[in-house]
Amino acid sequence: MPENDLSILQTQAESRIAVADSDALEELRVALLGKSGTLTAALKALGAMPPEERKARGAELNLVKSALTQALATRRAVLDAAALEARLAAERIDVTAPVRPEAAGAIHPISRTTEEIAAIFSAMGFSIKEGPDIENDWNNFSALNIAAHHPARAMMDTFYLQGGEVLRTHTSPVQIRTMLDWAKNHSTQADAQPIRIIVPGRTFRADHDATHSPMFHQTEGLVIGRGITLGHLKGCLIDFLRAFFDIPALPVRLRASYFPFTEPSMEVDIGWNRKTGELGGGTDWLEIGGSGMVHPNVLANCGIDPREFQGFAFGVGIERLTMLKHGIADLRLFYESDVRWLRHYGFAALSPAMLHEGI
């Protein structure tokens, strides 16, 4: 092959490479550099040349081969880039489309409030006690200083089962169960650990209208020990209510009242604005629960000597606290299980009530 043929070959090959598509480029590569390609043949032919010619010819051939190899690679890169771009364009999806749906669950506001109450009282050293919904008369009434003829018993609107058991009208029977256990297990009451419990749970009264449900939830609190005073009752309730409503200066008022199982007895009020419903502001008062020093007769009924031990008890309605905290208007919808209401007022599954995260 004459030497100017080499430059012609290179020029022609380069111009064809520059416009080749992917398949043509491969054909060109094979035609030039393949086993029986033009340049391969020319390189093979070197062996038959006289040594002085071979050296010069070989150098030229290598230059051409290197240039064409480079040209092929450059073109391949261009083609690959174009192909990738075309593929990516073809793979475009509609990212505005909705995701795969996942049904969102929720936790009922009553459960949420109960958890918040537990979180706050845990910080005050309380534990949680539970008791049965179906109670005997003594636990629900007699032990709590509510004798059979007591007018307070008529006020209670009690549900009875056909066997004579009562559906507990309050969570207070669990106070009795707790104190009895305590009295039984401490034959020497001198070294007894004090009682500090809360009792959230279902309660029942035969009353059904816009503001009363035949089943509702209460939390009872009971603190028994030495030197527990009405001042502690007040401090405990104020500490709880301010934490629960997250209003550090929430006004809390105790007002003399009467319950058979406490003496003195007090209603618990918080300050609010009746017109706007805003808690903590305004000049109005809203009743939120009952409280008092445990009646000496109640202690004595459970075998605890009121000369030695004294304490306080309180009860708050869980629905009422929930309605106030979240501005929920209708009590009946708590139990209706309307999925729209449950979604609206329900709480996220994965944010449990924890004091350090805020409640």
Partner 1 sequence: MKFTLSWLKTWLETDASLEDILTTLSAIGLEVEGVENRADTLAPFVIAQVIEALPHPNADRLRACRVDVGDGVERSVVCGAPNARTGLRVVFAPPGAFVPGSGITLKIGEIRGVKSEGMLTSFSELGLEGDGEGIIELPADAPVGARYAKWAGLDEPAIEIAVTPNRGDALSVRGVARDLAAAGLGMLKPFAPAPIAGSGASAVVWHNSFPEACPWVLGRTVRHVKNTESPDWLKQRLESVGLRPINTLADITNFFTHDLGRPLHVFDADKIAGGFLELRRGNGESFTGLHGKEVQAGAEDCIIADAAGAQSLAGIVGGEATGCDEATTSVFIECALFDRVRITQTGQRTGIVSDARQRFERGIDSQLMPQALDAATAMVIELCGGEASEISEAGARPDWSRTAKLRFARIRSFGGSDIGPDEAVASLERLGFGVRARDAASVTLAVPSWRNDVAQPPALDQADVPGAAQAAIGAAEIEPEVDLIEEVLRLKGMDAIPPVSLPVEGLIQAPIYTPKQARTALARRVLAARGLLEAVTFSFLDHETAALFGDAPESLRLANPIAADLDQMRPTALATLSLAAARNVARGFGDLGLFEIGPAYAADTSQALAAAGLRLGETPLSALAPARKFDALDAKADAIAVLGALGVPMEGVTTTPGGASFYHPGQCGTLRQGPKTILAAFGTLHPALCARLDLPLGAVAFEIFLDAIAEPKRRKKAAPVLPAFQPIRRDFAFLVSAGTPAETLLRAAKGAERNLITQVALFDRYQGKGVPEGQVSLAIAVTIQPVEKSFSETELDAISAKIVAEVGKKTGGVLRG
Among 44, 255, 326, 332, binds partner 1 (CB under 8 A): 255
134 touches partner 1 by CB under 8 A: yes
308 touches partner 1 by CB under 8 A: yes
Counting residues that bind partner 1 (by CB under 8 A) gives 112
83 touches partner 1 by CB under 8 A: no
Which is closer to partner 1, CB of 16 or CB of 202? 202
* Residue/partner pairs of 264-271 with CB below 8 Å, 24 or more apart: 264/230, 264/292, 264/293, 265/290, 265/291, 265/292, 266/233, 266/290, 266/291, 266/292, 267/291, 268/237, 268/241, 268/314, 268/316, 270/241, 270/245, 270/324
CB 276 within 8 A of CB 282: yes
Write out the binding residues for partner 1, residues 4-63 only, by CB under 8 A. none
Among 17, 64, 121, 241, binds partner 1 (CB under 8 A): 121
Q: How far is the CB of 21 from partner 1 (least distance, A)?
A: 37
174 touches partner 1 by CB under 8 A: no
Q: How far is the CB of 18 from partner 1 (least distance, A)?
A: 46
Pairing of strands 284-294, 310-317: antiparallel
Write out the binding residues for partner 1, residues 176-215 only, by CB under 8 A. 180, 183-184, 187, 189, 196, 202, 204, 206-208, 214-215
Q: How far is CA 208 from CA 17, 138, 157, 273, in A?
A: 91, 26, 11, 27
Write out the binding residues for partner 1, residues 145-164 only, by CB under 8 A. 145, 147, 149-152, 154-155, 159-164
Residue type, 223: V
Q: How far is the CB of 317 from partner 1 (least distance, A)?
A: 14
Q: Which among 11-19, 28-36, 126-134, 273-281 is the span making contact with partner 1, rule CB under 8 A?
A: 126-134
| Residue-wise burial string across 92-116, b where 16 or more C-beta atoms lie within 10 A, e elsewhere | eeeeeeeeeeeeeebbbbbbbbbbb
133 touches partner 1 by CB under 8 A: yes
Strand partners, 270: 252, 286
Q: How far is the CB of 227 from partner 1 (least distance, A)?
A: 7
Cα separation, 192 vs 269, whole angstroms: 33
- Kindly state the tokens that stand for 280: 């903590």
Q: Which among 3-11, 67-75, 79-87, 234-242 is the span making contact with partner 1, rule CB under 8 A?
A: 234-242
